[in-house]
Structure 1
């Protein structure tokens, strides 16, 4: 077999593969021999049909199969041997490749198009991103303590609504005459009464029971973000919803907060030896700091990612990449015209980041290894899985290890862990390269930056 390649411009590559009979005849002979042993042909006992008959019946299809198998094997071996770094995978050039006649020809020529990976140079000195650190205030800690006491509190379903209750029911939009608006918003909603902004509206719910109705102005009662969540609307639709709504109460629920005692401390921080309220509040503070640190990692990576995408100036073989996407897409409705329209916003940023990711991996591996994934899953399982009765250390480690291996092998179950590890390793690499200035900010400032 003869394989050659020719550069067409800076990145486009054409690969020519010439196959002759000597390349595949032994494979074909073996396959036909197997067919002869297994074939049931009228007039002959099983496995006794003459080879000439078997060849007339099956040879052309066997040649086609073996040539295709050979193409795949040798094409990727050539790519490895030549150390070609490609974008995507080679595509058959059907216009240049002659239609093969496997019944009458013995030599074949195939052409493939490919694209070389462009060089990606990262100008670290042009990336100016600070590492945010969210300050934990006493108010933040107290809010979390309140949340935890409610989370582990006693749940009740009272008949009558009181000031701190959780209310649920069907809300319908009204017209200016106070009637149900035709084509208006209707949804089953739920909300905490303290989240209602207007005091008069809040008080109008107190004392109500199931099946009773309350009319209120939605814009006065809730923020746009709350309206989006409650009615499952996009931002534009939520902003337009400003009139009156009528809520038919289905019921309410009430939580009696858990006392700040050792039972709560152990449930929230099992096995950590938290015994006093002071220790509990300190542990809550550390918990908030850890959660904030993880969110700050995400923000930092996203900000650096944006900066790296903005400075990306490597040439891309767009014509080839579009062909490649169309050839692999599972969306039957995707057309070349739609791909062109969505290219700049939907596809190009992802392509650029894949190349930047490759450049980062050359500096230091950030793609999580199987061992790292298993180790992380074992850690997560260990937090929640206690020892079985009579189980020693070795048996416990074996059981947890086997469970972690099983989860890691299942791509769907381990995807979240893989993504978290990838994000953290990316953060560590970017921090090492950039040595960013640490900037302490409030939780509100963090939220604003995260939305930007």
Structure 2
């Protein structure tokens, strides 16, 4: 057997494997003898058919199987010996005539394309600059949240005459044409000028307005029109009122506190406000942690500046997902895939170089945290904790074990990023909610 490597560039190469008769024939002969002992062929007792007949019937399929097995093992062993990191899977190079004479040919030549990176190195020192964000929950956000909760848990009424902020149920119709739609109109989502037309109206009233008075976003956010419907909305409209819905804000009392946080968790307005602020802060702490980590990933990916075998990876993705994706799909999604792959290479290298690994106990604990977050508003509390081990076990065994591997990768990434923050020049920056939203929009 002969294996040769031909590098075409800094990250792509071809591997050629030549198999001679001595490489495969002993295994083929042994497999034929084994078949002959077990074969049930008409006219012969089991195991008594001539070896020549067995070879005639099964020889080629056995030859193909054995050569494929030798190729797979030899290629894998060869790649393990190399210093570079293989990306994707080796791709067989099909011959132009795609012909192999399995009956007479003694020597077989095969070729594979590979993509790789020759090394992953990121210096974790003061030359790497990062930012650790912390979001400060202010009184404005706390008050807005409480107002939303009071509205959400308030009592609904159906007054005879509308006021600002009411939801008005009725029929929207175009004066010209056949367009008609029954909907609930949240007047709070309208501009002040247009909303004023819906104040002081009663059941069976008809409100008239022109499409020019409706802002673009209001067609979807207030009138619930599709993009297609909004595009065709022109001219005069009428809205016939069928019902008026108003939500009266809930009072800050014990019944309200219990609905939000559970029985007797808070017992006064001061405790309620403090609990709301604490809950918001915990939520934004998680968000700022995720945002900080994502920004650090970008910094490290840029710093590593890995030269990926793009053309090879695109071909591999297309062939590995044959029939499921098109060339256009691969081309459009590749930039995201390339960044994820680069980060994975960096994370694995940092973990390997610094003895960082995800332990089973870490995976279990992170899964528990995920489940608690998912059921946070369910009110299950102690019932959830009593069945937690079952929930964790079922989740980690799900998706044929892939959930466990995904969670392990997530744990390793968190440990790697925590380690990175200890080694680089990390600037801590406190930001407001509005500043955080602006960063997310960039």
> TM bucket by the smaller chain?
0.7 to 0.9
Separation in 2 of the partners of 1:438 and 1:46? 79
2:140 corresponds in structure 1 to 139
Q: How far, CA to CA, are the matches of 1:318 and 1:99 in structure 2?
A: 30
Q: Determine helix, strand or coil for the equivalent of 1:361.
A: helix
Query: For 2:333 and 2:118, how far apart are their aligned partners in 1?
Result: 20
Kindly state the Cα deviation for residue 100 of structure 1 after the two structures are TM-superposed. Answer: 3.1
Conserved 8 A contact 2:163-2:200: yes
Q: Distance in 1 between matches of 2:232 and 2:298?
A: 32
What secondary structure sits across from 1:284 in the alignment? helix
Partner of 1:405: 393
Distance 1:265 1:66, change over 3 A: farther
Deviation at 1:420, TM superposition (A): 7.1
Report the CA distance shift for 1:248/1:125 in structure 2 as closer, same or farther (over 3 A). farther
1:94-105 maps to which residues of 2 (within 5 A)?
94-95=94-95, 99-105=99-105
2: distance between equivalents of 1:326 and 1:108? 27
How far has the Cα of 1:404 moved from its partner?
A: 0.6
- CA gap 1:190/1:65 in 2 versus in 1, 3 angstroms: farther
Aligned to 2:253: 261
Larger RCO, structure (CA 8 Å, separation 6 or more): 2
Q: Judge conservation of contact 2:168–2:184 (CA < 8 Å) in 1.
A: yes
Instruction: Describe the superposition over 1:129-156 as per-residue Cα deviations: whole angstroms up to 9, x where unpaired.
Output: 5444333222211111222334444567
Which moves more between the two structures, 293-302 or 94-103?
94-103
Contact 1:166–1:254 at 8 Å: present in 2 too?
yes
1:20–1:106 CA contact under 8 A, matched in 2 = yes
Determine which of 279, 287, 310 is the counterpart of 1:318. Answer: 310
* Shift in Å, 1:409: 2.5
User: Separation in 1 of the partners of 2:197 and 2:403?
Assistant: 46
Separation of aligned partners in 2, 1:271 and 1:450: 36
Checking the alignment, whether the CA contact within 8 Å between 1:134 and 1:440 is kept in structure 2 is: yes
TM-score (norm 2): 0.76
Q: Relative to structure 1, is the Cα distance of residues 314 and 358 closer, same or farther in structure 2, using a 3 angstrom cutoff?
A: closer
Alignment of 1:67 onto 2:67: yes
| Shift in Å, 1:85 | 0.9
Q: 1:278 aligns with which of 270, 275, 279?
A: 270
TM-score by length of structure 1 reads 0.75
Distance in 2, Cα, partners of 1:32 & 1:155: 82
The reply to whether residue 149 of structure 1 matches residue 144 of structure 2 is no
CA contact (8 A) 1:297 1:427 kept: no
How far is 1:88 from its partner? Answer: 1.6
Return 5+ residue gaps in structure 1 as ranges: none
| Structure 2 residue aligned with 1:198 | 192
Q: Distance in 1 between matches of 2:429 and 2:178?
A: 50
The 8 Å contact of residues 210 and 235 in structure 2, kept in 1 or not, is answered as yes
1:224 and 1:238 in contact (8 A); partners too: no
The 8 Å contact of residues 301 and 342 in structure 2, kept in 1 or not, is answered as no
SS at match of 1:88: strand
Deviation for aligned residue 1:81: 3.3
Secondary structure class of the residue paired with 2:85: coil
Q: Do the aligned partners of 1:219 and 1:243 also contact (CA within 8 Å) in 2? A: yes
> Structure 1's 416 and 117: CA in aligned 2 closer, same or farther, altered over 3 A?
closer
Q: Give the distance between the partners of 1:21 and 1:249, measured in 2 at CA.
A: 88
After superposition, the Cα gap between the structure-2 partners of 1:60 and 1:206, relative to the gap in structure 1 and judged at 3 Å, is farther
Q: Report the count of equivalent residues.
A: 430
Residues of 1 paired with 2:240 and 2:36: CA distance?
77
In 1: Cα distance, 2:196 partner to 2:393 partner: 52
Q: CA deviation at 1:261?
A: 3.4
The question of whether the paired residues in 1 share the 8 Å contact of 2:84 and 2:119 is answered with: no
* Cα distance, 1:93–1:77 mapped onto 2, change above 3 Å: same
Shift of residue 405 of structure 1?
1.9
Would the aligned equivalents of 2:206 and 2:240 in 1 still touch at CA under 8 Å? yes
The alignment status of 1:441 with 2:438, answered yes or no, reads no
Aligned mates of 1:188, 1:168 — CA distance in 2? 8
My pick for the range that moved more, 401-410 or 122-131, is 122-131
Q: Which residue of 1 aligns with 2:346?
A: 359
Deviation at 1:198, TM superposition (A): 1.7
Extract unaligned runs of 5+ from structure 2. Answer: none
Distance 1:213 1:421 in 2: 59
- Work out the CA distance in 1 between the residues paired with 2:410 and 2:87: 26
User: Could you say if the C-alpha distance between residues 205 and 216 of structure 1 is closer, same or farther in structure 2, counting changes exceeding 3 Å?
Assistant: farther
> For 1:18, what is the secondary structure of its paired residue?
strand
| Cα displacement (A) at 1:228 | 6.6
Preserved contact between residue 18 and residue 109 of structure 1 (Cα < 8 Å): yes
- Asked whether the 8 Å contact 1:96–1:111 carries over to 2, the reply is no
